[in-house]
Amino acid sequence: MISPAYILLVVGVLLILSGCWCLIRTYHMLKITIGIEVAMKGVSLFLTLAGSISGNIALSETFVITVIVLEVVVAVVGTGMAAGLFRKYGSMDVRNLIRLRG
């Protein structure tokens, strides 16, 4: 029988790989932001799994809350950059970031 920890480990790896694939595959700023968020959900899952295996759940919950705060900051900054790119160039292509000055 497969243990729940093994299932969480596999799901976490799949989330991180899916997020990295999204980062590699696209030039669209919002899709890149979503890929980062998906990968960070996998990291949160790993932290929770590590805390439950080691028996130190309170510490892992603290780290997960910190990761959630960082996810929100990344999402807000990424969305703001995407909106600025769309306002200036009419698309959210990250290759347009090279043309920004000042």
- Note whether residue 23 is domain-resident: no
What's the whole-number average pLDDT of the chain? 94
31: nearest Cα among 93, 96, 99, 95: 93
What predicted TM-score, i.e. pTM, was given to this entire model?
0.89
Question: Does 64 have pLDDT greater than 90?
Answer: yes
What is the CB-side half-sphere exposure of residue 94 using CA atoms within 13 A? 13
- Note whether residue 57 is domain-resident: yes
- Note whether residue 75 is domain-resident: yes
Number of domains in the chain: 1
Q: Output the CA torsion sign for 8, 16, 74, 63.
A: positive
- Note whether residue 7 is domain-resident: no
**What is residue 39's predicted lDDT score, i.e. its pLDDT?**
96
- Note whether residue 6 is domain-resident: no
Tell me the percentage of the chain whose pLDDT exceeds 90: 89
Q: Which long-range contacts (CB under 8 A, 24 or more apart) does 46-54 make?
A: 46/9, 46/12, 48/8, 49/5, 49/8, 49/9, 49/12, 52/5, 53/5
Domain span at residue 36 reads 29-96
Question: Does 102 have pLDDT greater than 80?
Answer: no
d(CA 98, CA 87): 16
